[in-house]
Amino acid sequence: MTQIFKGIWGVVYRLSNDSKEGPLKNIVGKSPAIQRIKDLVLQVADTDLSVVIYGESGVGKEVVARTLYACSHRARGPFVKVNCAAIPGDLLESELFGYEKGAFTGADRAKPGKFEVANGGVIFLDEIGDMPLALQSKMLQVLQDQEFCRLGGHREIKVDVWIISATNHNLEKDVEEGRFRQDLYYRLSVIKIHIPPLRERKEDIPLLCDYFARLYSQKYGMGGFEVPRYLMDLFMKYHWPGNVRELENYIKRLVVLGDFDEVEREIRRFSDELPPQDPSLEDEFLKKIAFELARAEQGHLDLKEIKKRVATLVEKKVIDIALKRTDGNKRQAANVLGISYKALLYKIREFEEMGL
């Protein structure tokens, strides 16, 4: 009997999770960290346990918050976002809890707060680490009593909301240093979700590129767009201080403007950890130049001939780089090099004839 029950329960659980696959697709990525986050989202979605999402700016905290909501039974209710850093302290209180007419100068009509608006759904407290200490005490009270009054009001209001917060602070450190109330911290962060920075999960970059390329090609009515290999190689080495948001902005820009050279220059300029390009190619090239100089040492001193051979070596190296970046496409390479296709073919034949 228990076996049958378990079996039925398993099917029901799988079916209900299958229906959540849709919203989960909004979290693009295949790194172990992202897989773990997706699993956690499914486990937590219908529990109403308070969640804090941690991560640097642009890693996707809001994406995860919205996915939690979309996977939960609250998806039919509202999703209300409050940015605790963008609203000054005293305004934030009235924004969250609302006010009655005459509560303060200028309150010429009553207004419900975001907690009331979010009833039956989710309130997303973004940048929770920036909430002023005074307001943190009131928040704690509200969470303990599960009810509150509007500013200037006496009527107790009870709401049913799931609280999801996000921060780029280290809240535990803020607690240690007295910037965040410990009791509130425990109330808010029953479940913690850490989203690692993009530089620590680079295997997600190609998927994110494809995703944004498709999204923005469609949005701006452009033809299919793909990140060229040489740029993808650079993307994989770059440290992405602005995380996924920065990557998204580059792809958006490339789809619309196609300014590949400018993007490449920017990334190279901002990069401080790019290793030199293909050291084996470098070695080979330097060996050939050294060989020319050694021949000169041995008495082969025809300056015109040496100049031509060395210049041709440099030319060949640049052409090799262009061909590598365009995946061997000679027409594209000629374009990048600023010469005609015919001229490129001529040069390649010349290299062969010279044995370079």
Ligand X SMILES: Nc1ncnc2c1ncn2[C@@H]1O[C@H](COP(=O)(O)OP(=O)(O)OP(=O)(O)O)[C@@H](O)[C@H]1O
215 binds, among Mg ion, ligand X, none (CB under 5 to 8 A by kind): none
Is the dihedral angle over the CA atoms 28, 168, 146, 151 positive or is it negative? negative
What is the Cα–Cα distance from 47 to 16, expressed in whole angstroms? 14
* Cα 224 to Cα 235: distance, rounded to the nearest angstrom: 20
Q: How far apart (Å, rounded) are the C-alpha atoms in residues 299 and 221?
A: 64
The number of residues making up the chain comes to: 356
Q: Which is nearer to ligand X, 63 or 222 (CB)?
A: 63
Q: Is residue 129 a contact residue for ligand X (CB under 6 A)? A: no
Give φ, ψ of 155 to 5 degrees. -75, 130
Q: Which does 60 bind (CB under 5 to 8 A by kind): ligand X, Mg ion, none?
A: ligand X
62 touches Mg ion (CB under 5 A)? yes
* DSSP codes, 205-219: HHHHHHHHHHHHHHH
**95 contact choice in ligand X, Mg ion, none (CB below 5 to 8 Å, kind-dependent):** none
If one asks whether residue 48 binds Mg ion (CB under 5 A), the answer comes out as: no
Based on the shown chain and the rule CB under 6 A, indicate whether residue 27 belongs to the binding site for ligand X.
Answer: yes
Best CA proximity match to 205, nearest among 42, 21, 34, 23: 34
251 binds, among Mg ion, ligand X, none (CB under 5 to 8 A by kind): none
SS3 label, residue 38:
helix
Q: Which does 168 bind (CB under 5 to 8 A by kind): ligand X, Mg ion, none?
A: ligand X
Query: Should residue 56 be labelled a site residue for Mg ion when binding is judged by CB under 5 A?
Result: no
Give every CB contact of residue 83 below 8 A, 6+ residues apart in sequence: 126, 127
Q: Decide if residue 17 touches ligand X (CB under 6 A).
A: no
Nearer to Mg ion, 164 or 322 (CB): 164
Total site size for Mg ion, rule CB under 5 A: 1
Q: Identify residues 42-61 at the interface with ligand X (CB under 6 A).
A: 55, 57-61
Tell the smallest beta-carbon distance from residue 181 to Mg ion (Å): 22
Q: Which is nearer to ligand X, 56 or 320 (CB)?
A: 56
Amino acid identity of residue 336, one-letter, is V
Contact between 264 and ligand X (CB under 6 A)? Answer: no
